Amino acid sequence: MASLARGWWLPGLLVACAACCKVKPEKFRADADREVYQILSVQRARVLGTSMGFSVEPTSGSALARFAAPAGATEAEKALSAADIEGLDKGQGLPPEEGLERLALRAALELAARHSRDYQTRKEDLYLTALTLTLERFRWKPQWSGTVAASATDSPGSTSAGVSSDFSVTKLLDLGGQVTASLATDLFRFSTGDPRTTATSLLAFEYLQPLCRRSGRLVAREALTQAERDVVYAVRTFERLRKSFCVDVTSRYYRVLQQRDTVMNQWSNYKRIRQARIDAEKLEKEGEMAPLEVDQTRQNELRAEANWVRAVRQYREQLDEFKVFLGLPPEARVELDPAEVARLREAGLREAGVAPAEAVATALERRLDLLTAADRVADAERAVEIAKNGLQPDVDLKLAASVPTKEPTQFLRFEPSRGTYSATLTAELPLRRVEERNTYRSALVGLERARRAAEQLREDVKLAVRQDWRTLDEAAASHRIERDSVALAQQRERASRELLRLGEATARDLLEANEALVNAQNALTRTLVDHALARLALWRDTELLRVGEDGVWQEVNDGKP
């Protein structure tokens, strides 16, 4: 054995094995990313006509550092108290806070596209679908495999060492068959006893082809075909998600600002009623108002303050929820830009850019989920054909050949004359096909379901677009009504306040006038936001909405983005 240990082959083999064990996971990760990103780039260009960047790499937390509270800051959220009238007036009814990062709508959309946890999960879903395709494509490439084994034997009168190897390559064929070629080699050296060396090899080929069941390109490549179609579906689904996500971010953004506007209106209402209470107390001192009326104005003031406190709480809660939705911590030093609502007011009610009948026709032509539904019908039709194939008998043709080398040491000199050749035709009658029968019948049911699902989705799309138009029309009408209601409520509030001063109105009259005013003001902002969001929803549901790589949507004019 000592002589064997001194041989060159054992240390060399150990070194080779050690080298093979040094796996670099980073390389495999980079290879997977490169292949997946290439697939997605090609498919997005083919399906959507654009090939924007895509990555599932997590974003750096340093990008959010500017939203963090300053180091050492421990100040808690300021308690609500109407006592600080001047300070609250500066914040328009909100306790003033220093060092807040003001976030415009565009910045919020960009931030959500980079840091939203839910959005990142959906990106990973798309990535994993494409990753599945890489495996199916790999299976249709030549499959190489190889093993090497070393052995040493010590017995009385004989010591030997050997190395054997087995290399093979297998290739799937389009018609359902496969071909395999392999080369096996054995090398032996006897060091004692009868010194000699042997080296033999065996070259083998095998071809297996189904002739009935499991034969044909349709059946053989089904897994690859479906994986490729799944990537197309995933690309469409993700694009629909991007649009829905963009609308969702915009909706949440405007709703937070809408609640902020509610805070301002409740604060203004509180100040008006507070002033009415002050005026009432003066009239009481002058003997021009009964104490009961004054007490009622004080009660109205407390109610107005409670409404303001409730509005501030709801605003803070919505803002914190929006921060978390964007991927920020709830304590992030962020406020939304109130100028965004001011821009909506300045722009007024914009047209949708597409007529009702045209909107339905555009949706039926361009909706990505409708295209997917139609393609799934084709998938179901293909499944029926494959199930039919499964009912056929098994008839397989197998061709094999193995050619040895000339002994004892010429391990690369093959002798075809000493080879073994065979051809086998195997037939199995379809005597048991209950499982296949059930698969076929299930495929027929699945086809009908796919057709119904496509028809139902088509009707749902038409229904959604029609409802979007009704919502848009209702929001426009409601906005006009509430605009007139605000003007009337303001006139009524001024008149009630003056009549109360003259003793010709009651405190309840003033309270009702103020409640009508604040409700109208809140409704005016709500209908303005409703109209803007209904317009976005209509564009989304007609597939006219375009969202850039940064996650920002673009305006639609005359049916074109």
Q: HEC states along 450-471? A: HHHHHHHHHHHHHHHHHHHHHH
- pLDDT for res 197: 60
Residue with more model confidence, 109 or 199? 109
Contacts of 198 (CB under 8 A, 6+ apart): 186, 187, 188, 407, 408, 409
- pLDDT for res 288: 74
Contact 481, 531 (CB under 8 A): no
What's the CA gap between 99 and 90, in Å, rounded? 15
Q: HEC profile for 486-522?
A: HHHHHHHHHHHHHHHHCCCCCHHHHHHHHHHHHHHHH
Map out the domains of the chain with their CATH numbers: 262-391+434-561 (1.20.1600.10)
Q: Which of 338, 209, 332, 199 is nearest to 265 (CA)?
A: 338
Q: What are the pLDDT digits (tens) for 369-420?
A: 999 999 999 999 999 999 999 999 999 999 999 988 876 666 667 788 888 9
Q: What's the whole-number mean pLDDT along residues 224-243?
A: 96
Residue with more model confidence, 26 or 284? 26
- pLDDT for res 319: 95
- pLDDT for res 71: 52
Q: What are the pLDDT digits (tens) for 296-320?
A: 888 888 998 899 999 999 999 999 9
Q: Measured between alpha carbons, how far is residue 241 from residues 93, 118, 541 in Å?
A: 37, 11, 12
- pLDDT for res 7: 46
Q: Band of the pLDDT at 5, cuts 50, 70, 90?
A: very low
Beta strands of 49-174 (E only): which ranges? 101-103, 143-155, 158-172
- pLDDT for res 4: 42
Residue with more model confidence, 1 or 307? 307
- pLDDT for res 74: 45
Q: How high does pLDDT run on average in the chain? A: 86
Q: What are the pLDDT digits (tens) for 183-216?
A: 888 776 555 555 556 667 888 999 999 999 999 9
pLDDT at residue 109 tops 80: yes
Contacts of 372 (CB under 8 A, 6+ apart): 232, 233, 236, 237
- CA 340 centroid distance within chain: 27
- pLDDT for res 96: 80
pLDDT at residue 20 tops 70: no
What's the CA gap between 554 and 547, in Å, rounded? 6
> What does residue 413 show for φ and ψ, rounded to 5 degrees?
-105, 100
Q: What are the pLDDT digits (tens) for 51-82?
A: 777 888 887 666 677 777 655 444 456 667 77
- Express as a percent the part of the chain with pLDDT over 90: 55
- pLDDT for res 50: 81
| Encoded tokens for 454 | 């496509």
Residue with more model confidence, 305 or 555? 305
Contact 190, 401 (CB under 8 A): no
Q: What's the whole-number mean pLDDT along residues 329-336?
A: 90
Mean pLDDT is lowest, of 86-100, 163-177, 371-385, 460-474, for 86-100
**DSSP track, 389-411:** HTTS-EEEEEEEEEEEEETTTEE
Q: What are the pLDDT digits (tens) for 125-161?
A: 999 999 999 999 999 999 999 888 877 777 776 677 7
Q: What's the whole-number mean pLDDT along residues 3-10?
A: 46
Q: Band of the pLDDT at 531, cuts 50, 70, 90?
A: very high
Contacts of 319 (CB under 8 A, 6+ apart): 256, 334, 335, 336
- pLDDT for res 17: 61
What's the CA gap between 100 and 69, in Å, rounded? 9
What's the CA gap between 426 and 212, in Å, rounded? 11
- pLDDT for res 191: 58
Q: What's the whole-number mean pLDDT along residues 247-276?
A: 92
**Alpha helical stretches, state H, 286-326:** 291-326
Structure letter (DSSP) for residue 186 = E
**Alpha helical stretches, state H, 91-184:** 105-115, 117-139
> What does residue 33 show for φ and ψ, rounded to 5 degrees?
-60, -45
Q: Band of the pLDDT at 1, cuts 50, 70, 90?
A: very low
pLDDT at residue 2 tops 50: no
Q: What is the pTM of this model?
A: 0.87
- pLDDT for res 36: 95
